[in-house]
Structure 1
Amino acid sequence: MPRFIKKSNKKSGSAPGTLILEGEARVETIKISLLDYDQDGITDKEIKNVEEAFPFKEKKSVSWIHIQGLHDIPLLEKLGRHFGIHNLTLEDIVNPGQRPKAEDFDDYLYVVFKQLTYDGSKERVGAEQISLIVGQNFLISFQETGRDYFKPVRERIRDGKGRIRKHGSGYLAYALMDASVDDYYNILSTVGDKIEDLEQDLLDNPEPSCLDQIHKSKREMIFFRKQVWPVREVLSKLMKSDSALLHESTDIFLADVYDHIIHVIDIIESFRELLSSMLDLYLSTVSNRMNEVMKVLTIIATIFIPLTFLAGIYGMNFEFMPELKWKWGYYILLVIMAGIGGIMVGYFKRKKWL
C-alpha cells in the first residue's frame, strides 16, 4: 500500500508553496550537470554551485540543467528565484508523489512524468518522479536518485546525431519523455516473460504459490497502469498547447510518443486480462482437481456399500444363522464380494466414470 498512498511530511495548515521534502533524501550530495549546445558547439560539465548555471538562462543556445537530489531546499529556492519558477511548482518538485501532469505558466512549462524501473531480485516495478521546467532556451530536470536514465539522450547531443542539436528546449523535453517511454517497453518485456512462465507453471502444476504470484503480478500491473495512464493526458495537453515554448515541428514527435503510450497501455490491459484469466484458470483447475478426488472417493465408497452390507449381515451374533456352519461359507462370501466389486468397477468404466 505505501506505493499507492504516500505519507506526506507536510503539516496540516502549511502555507501554499511551502517547500518540505516528502520522504527521505535518496542521494548523499546533490549532483548538478550542465549541457549547453547548439548546432555549432557544446558545453558539457558538472557544476558544484547552482549559481554557475545562472548565466545560461539568457543564452541563445539550449541549456539543459539536470539536478539529481531534492533535499537541498535553499538550492532549489535560489534556482527558482533566478529562473522565475513559482513556489507552487517547487513544492510539487520536492513532492515525489505527484501525478504525471503538464502545466503552462506562460514563462515556462512544468511537466511531471514517472521513470519506471524493474528490480529483478524483488520482481517489483518501481517509479521515480521526473520533473521538467521547460523555458525559452533552457530545460531544468529534477530527479530523486543518482541513476542516469537519460544517457542515450546525452550521447545523441554529444555526438550531434539526429535533430536534437537543431531544435529547442521543447524538442529536448520530447526526447527525455521518449527515452522514458522506451524504458516502459523494456520493463513490459521482462514482466511479460515472467507472466508467460507463470502461465506455463499454472498449466503444468497449479500450486498455491502460483496463486501468490498471480496476485503479486496483478498488483504490479495496477501500479504500472497508475504511473503510465496519466502520461497520455500529459502528451495530449502538450500537443494541444499553444505555448510559444513548443514549436509546431515538435507536435509530430509528441504524437509519436502519444502512440507509444497508447500501445503501452494496451499491453498493460492485455496483461491484466491475462492475469485475471489465469486466476480463473487456477481456481477452475483446483476445483476440477478436487472434483476428481471426490469422484474417486465416491466410487470407492459406492463399491464398499454392498460389501459392507454383506459383512454387516454376517457380523451379527445371531445363533441360528445357517450359513455360519458352512465349511466353505467364508470363502464363498469372499468370492461373492469380489465379484460384486468387479462388476461395479466394470460398470463404472463402461460409463466412463473411471
Structure 2
Amino acid sequence: MKKPKIKTHLKKSSQILRKKGKAPGTVTYTGLRENALSVVSVIDYDENKFIVEKPKTIEEINFFKNSKLTTWIDVTGISDESYIDDLGKLLGLNSLVLEDAVNTQQRPKIDEYDDYIFGVFKMLYLNDKQEIVYEHLAITLFESSVVVFQELKDDVFNGVRERIKTKSGRIRTRGADYLFFALLDAVVDNYFEILEGINHKIEELEEEVYDNPRPEVAQRIQELKKEVLKIRRYIFPVKELVSRLVDSESKLISKDTKLFLRDIHDHCIEINESLQIYREMSMSLMEMYMSNMSNKMNEVMKVLTIMASIFIPLTFIAGVYGMNFDKIPELHWEHGYAMVWGVMIVTFIGMLIYFKRKNWL
C-alpha cells in the first residue's frame, strides 16, 4: 500500500528539481501528468452568436483572441513545454507568467499587467472513486478573451459551458471579465463539495473512534489531517486574491463584475471558516482516539485488578491448607474440605457484592 506513495513522492521531487539551475521565465512543467498532448478548444460568443471551434494552429488561436466577440480559449494539457512557450509568446504573455502557468507547485496568486490579469488557482473536484483530484489551473483575462490552462480534460466548468449555450443567460450579454468571474466562481463553488466530503469523513471517523478505536482508525485520522492541510494550502489564499480583484483599478474589470466578485469573496470567507473548523476537528480526532484507547485500557486494567483482588484471599486460603505440615487440625476434620470450599465461595460472593455496591463492576 505504501510503496506507490513513496514512488509518487520521489517522482514529484524529481519533477520539482527540473527547475533547479534554469533561468527565471523558463517554461518547465513540474507536474506528474507528463506526455499529455495540448488540445485547444475555443468558444466565441456574444448575445446573438455562439461558435465552438478546435483551432489546429497557434495562429488561429491568436485570431480568436483578437475577435470582437467574447472568447474563451481553453488549453488542456500543459506538459508540452515548447507548445505552451510558443502559444504564450504569440498571445503576448510574459515569460514569468508562462513559467507559473505550467508550474504545478505554484501557490495561488494574482498578477496584474497592463494588458491582462493572470491568476493561478487549484481546481479541486471528486473523481469517480470519490477521491480528490488536485488540478493546476491558470486563467488569464484579456480585454475581450479569457485563456485557461489546465492539466486534464475533466474540470468544473460544465455549468459555465451550458450557461453560454443558453441564449437567454446573463453571461451571453456580458464581456470577458464576467466570463473570468464565472470560471472563478465555478472553482470556488466546487470547494464546498470538497468540504462536504471532508465533513462526512470526520463524522465517520468520530463514530469509529467512539465505537471501535483501532490502529487502522489512527492511520485514517493521520491521512485526513494531511489532506485537510493540503486543501487549506490551496484554498486559504484565494480569499485574499479575490479581495485584490475587487479592489483592483484595472480597466479590464468593470464595476458591475466587481459586485459579483464580492459574492465570491463572501463564499471564500465561509470556506476558510469551515476549513479552520475542520482542521481543528481533524487534529482533535487523534486526541479523542488516544483518550478512548486510554479509557479502554483502563477498563481492562480495572477488570483485571478486580479479578486479582477476588482471587487474593482465595489463594491465601488455598495456600494455608496446601502447606505440608502434619498438625493442621482442619485437615483431619470429616467435613473440612467442604467447609473450606464454603468459606471460599462465600468470600467470592461477598467481594462481588461489595464491588457492585461500590460501582466498581
Calculate the TM-score normalised by the size of structure 2: 0.91
Percent pairwise identity: 41
**Alpha-carbon distance in structure 2 between the residues aligned to 1:4 and 1:204:** 38
Report 1:249-288 matches (<5 A).
249-288=256-295
Kindly state the Cα deviation for residue 264 of structure 1 after the two structures are TM-superposed.
Answer: 1.4
Preserved CA contact (<8 Å) 2:36 2:79: no
Residue in structure 2 matching 1:94, options 87, 99, 102: 102
Other-structure match for 2:234? 227
Tell me, what secondary structure is at the counterpart of 1:97?
coil
Other-structure match for 1:10? 18
Kindly state the Cα deviation for residue 102 of structure 1 after the two structures are TM-superposed.
Answer: 0.3
Residue in structure 2 matching 1:45, options 48, 53, 66: 53
Provide closer, same or farther for how the CA distance between residues 237 and 246 of structure 1 changes in structure 2, counting only shifts above 3 A. same
| Runs of 4+ that moved beyond 3 A | 1-7, 23-28
**Alpha-carbon distance in structure 1 between the residues aligned to 2:111 and 2:266:** 21
Paired letter, 2:261: L
Kindly state the Cα deviation for residue 4 of structure 1 after the two structures are TM-superposed.
Answer: 9.6
Tell me whether 1:181 sits opposite 2:188 in the alignment.
yes
Other-structure match for 1:106? 114
Provide closer, same or farther for how the CA distance between residues 4 and 306 of structure 1 changes in structure 2, counting only shifts above 3 A. farther
Report 1:334-353 matches (<5 A).
334-353=341-360
Provide closer, same or farther for how the CA distance between residues 244 and 3 of structure 1 changes in structure 2, counting only shifts above 3 A. farther
Kindly state the Cα deviation for residue 295 of structure 1 after the two structures are TM-superposed.
Answer: 1.0
Preserved CA contact (<8 Å) 1:27 1:145: no
**Alpha-carbon distance in structure 2 between the residues aligned to 1:346 and 1:81:** 88
Please list every run of 5 or more consecutive structure 2 residues that lacks an aligned counterpart in the other structure.
1-8
Tell me, what secondary structure is at the counterpart of 2:47?
coil
**Alpha-carbon distance in structure 2 between the residues aligned to 1:21 and 1:5:** 13
Tell me whether 1:168 sits opposite 2:175 in the alignment.
yes
**Alpha-carbon distance in structure 2 between the residues aligned to 1:247 and 1:17:** 30
Paired letter, 1:199: E
Paired letter, 2:199: G
228-237 vs 279-288, greater mean Cα deviation: 279-288
Paired letter, 1:285: N
Describe the superposition over 1:39-67 as per-residue Cα deviations: whole angstroms up to 9, x where unpaired: 23122111121211212333332111110
Other-structure match for 2:72? 64
Residue in structure 1 matching 2:312, options 298, 305, 308: 305
Residue in structure 1 matching 2:322, options 292, 315, 324: 315
91-100 vs 316-325, greater mean Cα deviation: 316-325
How large is the RMSD of aligned CA atoms in angstroms? 2.1
Preserved CA contact (<8 Å) 1:137 1:169: yes
Kindly state the Cα deviation for residue 156 of structure 1 after the two structures are TM-superposed.
Answer: 1.0
Other-structure match for 1:118? 126
Kindly state the Cα deviation for residue 235 of structure 1 after the two structures are TM-superposed.
Answer: 0.4
Provide closer, same or farther for how the CA distance between residues 99 and 2 of structure 1 changes in structure 2, counting only shifts above 3 A. farther
Kindly state the Cα deviation for residue 214 of structure 1 after the two structures are TM-superposed.
Answer: 1.8
Kindly state the Cα deviation for residue 98 of structure 1 after the two structures are TM-superposed.
Answer: 0.9
Kindly state the Cα deviation for residue 248 of structure 1 after the two structures are TM-superposed.
Answer: 1.2
Preserved CA contact (<8 Å) 2:43 2:71: yes
**Alpha-carbon distance in structure 1 between the residues aligned to 2:248 and 2:302:** 67
Describe the superposition over 1:135-173 as per-residue Cα deviations: whole angstroms up to 9, x where unpaired: 111111100112243111111112134321222211111
Preserved CA contact (<8 Å) 1:32 1:50: no
Preserved CA contact (<8 Å) 2:108 2:122: yes
Preserved CA contact (<8 Å) 1:112 1:130: yes
Provide closer, same or farther for how the CA distance between residues 185 and 56 of structure 1 changes in structure 2, counting only shifts above 3 A. same
Preserved CA contact (<8 Å) 2:36 2:80: no
Paired letter, 1:344: M
